[in-house]
Structure 1
């Protein structure tokens, strides 16, 4: 009996030694509904990988809250978190600080080809891959299907078409609270994104291939003049300078606009039981200038491995599972998250729950990453200040562009 007990204890210690504990930390938006679905998907990983136990740490609040937490953990060389979800704009600064594990040795060219080039570009720093796309968020053009159909319009492909359609519909409806276009004009990241989408949609950019600031090449001014023309020509209300992301969503949802530039999260809310526009909303790619391809800002969340993790192999197996087909289908079907794997957009099970994914695939494929430099957050803050001041009529467009160029060059030291 003593021998049997000893053997059992020895076997128990072997099993324990073979079990690896990893910690996964992610931003929680959506409360228990999201948390429970993530727990279920992680449980499926554990069932397939009985030698790995996953402890999930949900961080409530905003992306800024998670960013602050991660920076504190990384700076302290904290080893307790093995895998974390990170915003698409964080990898440049995190990677160059040495906080993220390079993932090149875990993937090959076929693996990378399953994702959009824009997503891979966003997390490739100095030629090395530091994160894997988990789920996307992209800038979209929402439109009132009932109003466009009533006036015989197709979704606009150029900004001039959008202006003309807005004028015709608002004039025809005669509703004083109905606006043509809403976008995020408050001093937030989405204002930078809206400007970038107009800039990219006419062939411009903030930085050239050599990293030189090229916002003063004429297209930077043209993009801002296009943005301002929406207000000056009555397409967009002047109060847009104070409207943030969810304010514009609520106004569109209340039936106060024909078009809206916003993110993918709004779709489910527009089709909720309390929505005025339920069943009357369509999705399209953002317009561009004639002769140029459309461009949408790439947003979303990626999975990365802590460079100081003691369980990198187990951490990678978890990342691989969460970004592979099974988990992607579950997140798409259950949470309406935009899959990072392009193949999932045509999956019948996912489309049965989210038929809009078929319309969103072209938007995802054309999405572009914001400048992949460690100083991006500071650059965007400077751009937001100048853009918002121009929208408010406090400075002229030329001065706003000049300020942005000077600030970006100062920030980059170029």
Structure 2
């Protein structure tokens, strides 16, 4: 049951928010306030987060935490959180945000600056920590993180006599050999997340980054008029055109792709760490249990670059109990708590020491690959209007994948749209 529940947790792995109410005549925000608080977070099907909250509550009877489960789906979660912030509601004290929203929420003063010394920041991975900053100041704390991994049918690669690929060319060559096997009849080569949602933005950013380019630089300027950007989009477009990526993958989010791989329909699949336990379940729900391996995602000329996944914890600027909220975040993101959390959940933690723990490496054999991926991963663009930028990327990339735009036209369209967003920030 625990393995199955992880799907619910990770399928909404990219964000969380809260709905708000009018605070009326109350003055929102109290940096030194203490007392019971609310924690707006993702639903945890494993039960691990509620257990950790219960431990806190036992030790802090006057500052108990109440969990508020937030809706599934990044778009709806962000909308709820924006509504809460715009009404200056104090209904939530600690909020869970998708890492690329950090800049927007900090710039709009919806979350508070956090003191570095309270959170032992030296123990976090560099990339998640950088994504938690805005203009050199810390506004949220990495809670969960993650990089994409390439899942592959180890049994079929062994039969075909090929190694796991590290480049796109090797990926295609491996598929040609594997799909020629009688055991691979009816299978497709590769799929990631290609539906028109945040996952498509992530997959496109990865493709461009894995070709040596960047979609948006640190100053918020787009770079879609480069050979690297063209190579990244062509990898995806050509994949659909020549059948390397199956036509039905145009509807794939995380769970649709996971099911396709788990049912034995794909040789290679790009996804997050959460699907490892599900695909390896020995209860009859997976056709590939014990038959697959993982490696870093491939790139144009070598190992690719993943977009950084994960969620951060922040203190609402409208909370009247911010001192307690900060203490709770420090507790939940401490090394000891993360080690306990990792034992009960496949969600990737944000402190590097978690990945060297012998017991956890035995429990989660993919940890070395995941650690390598996280260390090389890039945060999604840290810009105030990230939501608008992501929507513009999705529209153009999706049109190119469906053959409604040429690669050049889609890139030019993105360049114009993202330039306007940068100028209007």
- Do both share a fold (TM > 0.5)? yes
Q: Which of residues 23, 26, 47 in structure 1 aligns to 2:38?
A: 23
Q: 1:239 is matched with which residue?
A: 248
From 228, 232, 241, the equivalent of 1:219 is: 228
> Does structure 2 conserve the Cα–Cα contact (< 8 Å) formed by 1:79 and 1:310?
yes
Q: Aligned equivalents of 1:386 and 1:50: distance in 2?
A: 52
Deviation at 1:344? 0.7
- For the residue of structure 1 that corresponds to 2:309, the secondary structure is strand
Cα displacement string for residues 115-141 of structure 1 (whole angstroms, at most 9, x for unaligned residues): 222212212111111111111232221
1:406 to 403, 416, 421: 416
SS at match of 2:368: helix
Structure 1 range deviating more: 369-378 or 344-353: 344-353
Tell me the CA shift for residue 325 of structure 1: 1.6
1: CA distance between counterparts of 2:43 and 2:336? 21
- Which of 18, 42, 55 is the equivalent residue of 2:66? 55
Measured after TM superposition, the shift of residue 22 of structure 1 is 1.8
Write out per-residue CA displacement over residues 264-321 of structure 1, whole angstroms, 9 at most, x where no aligned residue: 221121112210011112111111122x553111111111111122222221111111
- Residue 105 of structure 1, CA deviation: 4.9
Counterpart of 1:271 in structure 2 is: 280
- Three-state SS of the structure 2 residue aligned to 1:113 is helix
1:393 and 2:408 are equivalent in the alignment: no
- What is the rounded CA distance, in whole Å, between the counterparts of 2:402 and 2:80 in structure 1? 34
- Corresponding position: 1:88 with 2:103: no
2:354 aligned with 1:339: no
Q: Which moved more, 1:157-166 or 1:362-371?
A: 362-371
Quote the offset at 1:358 in angstroms: 3.0
Matches of 2:268 and 2:78 in 1, distance apart? 32
**Contact 1:144–1:282 at 8 Å: present in 2 too?**
yes
| Local SS of the residue matching 2:42 | strand
Counterpart position of 2:367: 357
2:263 corresponding residue in structure 1: 254
String of CA shifts for 1:89-110, please: whole Å, max 9, x gaps. Answer: 22111111101110135447xx
Kept after mapping to 2: 8 A contact 1:183/1:260: yes
Secondary structure of 1:142's match?
A: strand
| Distance 1:140-1:330 versus aligned 2 partners, 3 A rule | same
Change (3 A) 1:371 1:355: same
Q: 2:299 aligns with which of 281, 284, 288?
A: 288
Q: Is the 8 A contact 1:19 1:53 kept in 2?
A: no
Q: 1:208 to 1:353 in 2, by over 3 A?
A: closer
1:158 aligns with 2:167: yes
Q: Does 1:196 align with 2:227?
A: no
Mean CA deviation greater in 62-71 or 307-316: 62-71
289, 300, 319: which is aligned to 1:309? 319
Q: Which moved more, 1:230-239 or 1:148-157?
A: 230-239
Q: Contact between 2:195 and 2:252, CA under 8 Å: does it hold in 1?
A: yes
Q: Distance in 2 between matches of 1:114 and 1:219?
A: 33
Higher strand share: 1
2:83 matches 1:72: yes
Q: Normalising to structure 2: TM-score of the pair?
A: 0.86
Uncovered stretches (5+) of structure 2, i.e. residues with no partner: 1-32
What do you get for the CA RMSD once the two structures are aligned? 2.0
Aligned pairs, how many? 390
* Partners of 1:208 and 1:298 in 2: CA distance: 15
Post-superposition shift, 1:67? 2.1
Segments of structure 1 that go 5 or more residues without pairing to the other structure are: 1-17
Q: Distance in 2 between matches of 1:210 and 1:411?
A: 12
SS at match of 1:296: coil
The structure with the largest alpha-carbon Rg is 1
